[in-house]
């Protein structure tokens, strides 16, 4: 009797669990759907905006598609807005900064986490304090210093502050990952006669690729979109980066709203492509950097 009673009760429990699971799943899908729409809608709207004429934009119908796609807006943005010059300057500054940040941060994180010295945590704390310094609070002293050493209005006046502001978060992510690397890996290298730099180059760096990729992507996004330092330290038209170039283009073509929208799309396109192509690596690297050994 007990077996038959238990068999009768099972069908009553299963639908309840299934129903609860479906309701929870539906709520999760609704929340993520709302987040997806709120994140993607501004990008889609900007793209449609960039393909309209001034009359269609000023009509006030924001949701309507253009009658004819105005691809000439992109031509005007590229040719008249010096897009390629600004893009080249941004790529140059960003690339040099990323290489320096990875080199300095990886060596620092290796020294903090793998060497046995009593000041390791103090140095790590100093870098963490660097994350709390606001960029705006350094503009005036940096302006005076760069003017005195004659590097104001050069790309070096952007690269040095970018390295300083991106290195702390890079050290934090890389040191969190390197703490979890087993000591046996280094011991095997020592047994084979490898020195410190050989262990770092041949053993630690290959293992640390996921957080390094994450640091590269985060640094790229932060540097690419930075405007305050570029507007403060750069005045030459030939040296302007893309965010500052967007502001110049908007001021110059304030009547051609479609071309302004096209320039904004072109300015955001590199970051959007890199983020969507490498979003999985960002997640893996952040999780790896959060691991504590």
The residue ranges of every structural domain in the chain are 23-59, 82-244+267-291
> DSSP assignment of the chain, as one string?
-HHHHHHHHHHHHHHHHHHHHHHHHHHHHHHHHHHHHHHHHHHHHHHHHTTS-HHHHHT--TTPPPSS--THHHHHHHHHTTHHHHHHHHHHHHHHHHHHHHHHHHHHHHHHHHS--TTHHHHHHHHHHHTTS-GGGGHHHHHHHHHHTT-TTSTHHHHHHHHHHHHHHHHHHHHHHHTTS-HHHHHHHHHTT--HHHHIIIIIHHHTHHHHHHHHHHHHHHHHT--HHHHHH---GGG--HHHHHHHHHHHTSS-HHHHHHHHHHHHHHHHHHHHHHHHHHHHHHHHHT---
CATH superfamily of 82-244+267-291: MetI-like (1.10.3720.10)
Distance (Å, rounded) from C-alpha 33 to C-alpha 30? 5
Total Cβ atoms within 10 A of residue 183: 9
Torsion over CA: 245, 44, 282, 138 (sign):
positive
pLDDT value, residue 144: 92
Distance (Å, rounded) from C-alpha 183 to C-alpha 171? 20
pLDDT value, residue 158: 93
Residue spans of the chain under pLDDT 50: 1-10, 12-14, 16, 289, 291-293
Q: Give every CB contact of residue 178 below 8 A, 6+ residues apart in sequence.
A: 109, 110, 113, 114, 204, 208
Distance (Å, rounded) from C-alpha 94 to C-alpha 158? 10
Distance (Å, rounded) from C-alpha 227 to C-alpha 115? 38
- The terminus-to-terminus CA distance of the chain in angstroms comes to 55
> How open is the CA angle 106-110-213, to the nearest 5 degrees?
35
Q: How many residues belong to the chain?
A: 293
Residue with tokens 């590269």: 216
Distance (Å, rounded) from C-alpha 142 to C-alpha 144? 5
pLDDT value, residue 185: 81
pLDDT value, residue 231: 87
Distance (Å, rounded) from C-alpha 135 to C-alpha 132? 9
């Amino acid at each position: 009797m007990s077996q038959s009673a238990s068999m009768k009760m099972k069908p009553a429990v299963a639908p309840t669990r299934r129903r609860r699971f479906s309701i929870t799943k539906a709520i999760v899908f609704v929340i993520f759907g709302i987040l997806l729409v709120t994140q993607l809608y501004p990008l889609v709207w900007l793209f449609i905006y960039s393909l309209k004429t001034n009359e269609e934009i000023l009509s006030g119908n924001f949701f309507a598609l253009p009658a004819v796609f105005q691809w000439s807006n992109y031509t005007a943005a590229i040719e008249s807005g010096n897009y390629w010059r600004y893009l080249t300057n941004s790529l140059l500054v960003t690339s040099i900064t990323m290489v320096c940040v990875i080199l300095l941060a990886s060596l620092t994180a290796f020294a903090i986490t793998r060497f046995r010295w009593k000041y390791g945590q103090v140095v790590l704390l100093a870098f963490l304090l660097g994350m709390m310094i606001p960029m705006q609070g350094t503009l005036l002293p940096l302006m005076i210093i760069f003017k005195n050493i004659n590097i104001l209005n050069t790309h070096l006046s952007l690269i040095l502050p970018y390295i300083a502001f991106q290195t702390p978060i890079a050290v934090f992510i890389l040191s969190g990952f390197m703490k979890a690397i087993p000591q046996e890996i280094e011991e095997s290298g020592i047994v084979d006669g490898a020195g410190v730099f050989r262990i770092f180059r041949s053993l630690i760096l290959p293992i640390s690729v996921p957080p390094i990729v994450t640091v590269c992507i985060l640094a790229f996004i932060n540097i690419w979109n930075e405007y305050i330092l570029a507007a403060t330290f750069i005045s030459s038209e030939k040296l302007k980066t893309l965010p500052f170039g967007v502001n110049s283009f908007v001021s110059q073509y304030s009547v051609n709203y479609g071309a302004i929208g096209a320039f904004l799309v072109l300015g955001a396109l590199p970051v959007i492509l890199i983020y969507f192509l490498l979003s999985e690596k960002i997640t893996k690297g952040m999780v790896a950097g959060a691991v504590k050994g």
